[in-house]
Structure 1
Amino acid sequence: MNNYIGRFAPSPSGPLHFGSLVAALGSYFQARAMNGQWLVRIEDLDPPREMPGAADLILKTLEAYGLHWDHNIWYQSRRHDAYQAQIDTWLANGQAYYCRCTRKQIKAAGDYYNGTCRHLQLPSDSGYAVRLRMDVPITRFYDEKHGDIDIPHDLAQEDFIIKRRDGLFAYNLAVVLDDIAQGVTQVVRGADLIEPTGRQISLYNILEHKPVSYLHLPLAVDQSGHKLSKQNHAPAIDLKNPRPTLIQAMKFLGFQLPAGIETAELAEIVAWGSQNWHIQQLPDALEITR
């Protein structure tokens, strides 16, 4: 793939844990193996969920693990004008509309939004959420590792929120606009983000822009089958002694490490990983117990 641009886009809701390191490594190795660029973007869209100092800690952790990015860091908190401008365009042409339905009402109606407010033409000063019309739902997409992945029809056809009633911009909108603006060509991320992929492809189509390709990495789960995440109190990875965790994460991603590499310098390990990475090595499973 010529002019490859990949990215790692963590949210600053806490320090990096093993699962987020796996996502960072997968996206980094794929970019380097393609002789491409690797960008880092801080997805600070939700201030109530952010941990003070987490963004800087994440960047410090990436550097400690030998993962060095290209170009300047992007922060979604500095992109609000771009998100609002696109929403205003869609509101003006009828592609988006205001919605007053609560989560409780949606759950009572079957847990999927059924378009109740689509034709009500609610006023702009109402303080309601903004939804995007799904006129051509995406019910299947191609994953570079797993092939065709089907999306439940009810989920695919749902008019989803692009701006919340509290004024915060939605993840699906921001991530697509930013990937387009940064020229990203492929998204490599954890399998927990398979579900919103169809919505994001729909956004590309509405924007009349070619979608990126997708590669979803196996998700690290605990013994109870729960995703390793900040919400589930996954422990932060070690900054002072990164080599053991780096090796564990590389094995998790399917690397067969040669004798001696586990005791090599960190930069040498990362360089070896970049040179020997290939998608075929990835486990077939979408979830792996760590």
Structure 2
Amino acid sequence: MAEAGPIYPGYCRTRHYPTDQPAALRVKTSPAEIEFVDGLQGIIRENIGERHGDFIILRKDLIVAYQLAVVVDDYRQGITHVVRGCDLLDSTPKQIYLQKLLGYPVPEYLHLPIIVDRAGQKLSKQSRAEAVAATSANQTLFMLLSLLGQNPPPTLKRAEIPAILDWAVAHWVPERLSGIRSVGIDTPPSNQT
């Protein structure tokens, strides 16, 4: 997974600055090895200090950064299992690091493959992906089940949405996605993002 910029070199780690100046607040990291077993991606292991460095937990505009916000939110809601896209897999070791610092329990994680275009870009508003037509929601669900390796029967293609969802729940085989990080409409599954 690509890091969003260079690793912070620790320039201000031991400096003291006037409190009237806007500044981001970072959590000091150590060369701690973070390891967890993802429900689909297997064992994930990384050195938090070397991979991420001291990362921001409070932005200089005083907005709590995503990493800290999600950790506290999950804890306060009693979240025990997190299911999300592989595009957020890179955030998980930072969140586990914070959970351990705060004495919070670590949830179970499962990262699903993301859907990408021909260039390997995640389909999203930011990449200007075409919107899904509400008039063909059943065909879209059928296509997504196929992309995710669930092999829906052809008769399901024209079924009503509740029937498709019932079939998906009853026949879901997560092992078919093991180790796969992205899928594309015209590309084979990939364990790279």
User: Which of the five TM-score ranges fits, normalised by the shorter chain?
Assistant: 0.7 to 0.9
Supply the RMSD in Å over aligned alpha carbons: 2.0
Q: Which shifted more, 198-207 or 280-289? A: 280-289
Q: Distance in 1 between matches of 2:33 and 2:21?
A: 30
Q: TM-score, normalised by structure 1?
A: 0.57
1:155 matched to which residue of 2? 51
Q: Is the 8 A contact 1:138 1:198 kept in 2?
A: no
Any gaps of 5 or more consecutive residues in structure 2? 186-193
Which residue matches 1:137?
Answer: 32
Shift of 1:137: 3.0
The aligned counterpart of 1:165 is: 60
TM-score by length of 2: 0.84
Equivalent residues in 2 for 1:40-79 (5 A)?
Answer: none
- Structure 1 residue 206 corresponds to structure 2 residue 101: yes
Give the gaps of 5 or more residues in structure 1: 1-106
How far is the alpha carbon of 1:121 from its aligned partner? 3.0
Alignment partner, residue 12 of structure 1 = none
Which residue in 2 is equivalent to 1:116? 11
* 1:128 CA displacement: 0.6
**1:287 paired to 2:186:** no
1:124: how far off?
A: 3.1
Report if aligned partners of 2:29, 2:54 keep a CA contact under 8 Å in 1: yes
- 1:151 is paired with a residue of what secondary structure? strand
Match of 1:252 among 144, 147, 150: 147
| 1:111-165 CA-partner distances (Å, limit 9, x unpaired) | 2112222222333332111111224634432211121123365224x11001112
Partner of 2:127: 232
Which residue matches 2:79?
A: 184
Cα-to-partner distance string for 1:16-36 (whole Å, 9 max, x where unaligned): xxxxxxxxxxxxxxxxxxxxx
Instruction: Please say which of residues 189-198 and 254-263 is displaced more in the overlay.
Output: 254-263
**1:220 pairs with one of 94, 115, 136:** 115
Partner SS for 1:241: helix
Q: Residues of 1 paired with 2:154 and 2:129: CA distance?
A: 30
**Is residue 127 from structure 1 mapped to residue 22 from structure 2 by the alignment?**
yes
Relative to structure 2, which stretch is displaced further, 190-199 or 249-258? 249-258
- Higher relative contact order at CA 8 Å, sep ≥6: structure 1 or structure 2? 1
